[in-house]
Amino acid sequence: MQPVKIAVMASGGGTNFQAIIDACASGEICGQIVGLIYNRKAAYACQRAQDAGIPATYINKKRAGSVEAFSSEILAALKECGAELVVLAGWLEILGDAVVEAYPNRIINIHPALIPSFCGKGFYGHYVHEAVLAYGAKLSGCTVHFVSAVADGGPIILQEAVPVLPNDDADSLAARILPHEHENLVKAVRLYCQGKLRVDGRVVHIEE
């Protein structure tokens, strides 16, 4: 089986990115990371790419000037590196329709809550955990899903619940969910690269 060419997109520290780097290096994922796209100059994900010898491309929406130009730059970068699968690993921008349409059911995202709760426009990073706590939810967790034109609205691949503890704040809840994000994102990418995910409408079947 030929390794799947994977492009990763990240905005921050890149711990999910690192989990994918490590899983590809160990052979757990039958994939090759062919590029990183990052949109914040301070993103530590860029350093992780440099350390792993992965080409990194900086693309910023404000610098691009419009959503359309931003999408065009992203598409050009993905095509240049030959990406077959795109993984959003802490990417804090909604992708334009042009990008989503170019990679149907080939863009995987990780969200730090149990979709369809606490998701969609404005729900990213610590805002998600703050909303969970403010609502008084007893469970949170993470969701790995394919990306569609609707923010956080694509078919769900994997989910895992994590209890919300009485003394939690956004930091402690985020810290407890993060290891489950790493595990589930790696598992979803592994299954994709093994050809074991089949999408039927909104339902993702895992064929193991």
- The answer to whether residues 48 and 11 touch, using CB atoms and an 8 Å cutoff, is no
- For residue 20, the one-letter residue type is I
- For residue 184, the one-letter residue type is N
- The answer to whether residues 18 and 52 touch, using CB atoms and an 8 Å cutoff, is no
User: 105, 111, 117: which is closest to 197 by C-alpha?
Assistant: 105
The reply to whether 129 belongs to the active site is no
Among residues 111, 145, 180, 182, which one is catalytic?
111
CA distances from 181 to 144, 158, 200 (A): 8, 10, 24
Alpha-carbon gap, residue 41 to 74, rounded angstroms: 16
Alpha-carbon gap, residue 26 to 30, rounded angstroms: 9
- For residue 176, the one-letter residue type is R
Beta strand 197-200 with 203-206 is antiparallel
- Which residues form the catalytic set? 111
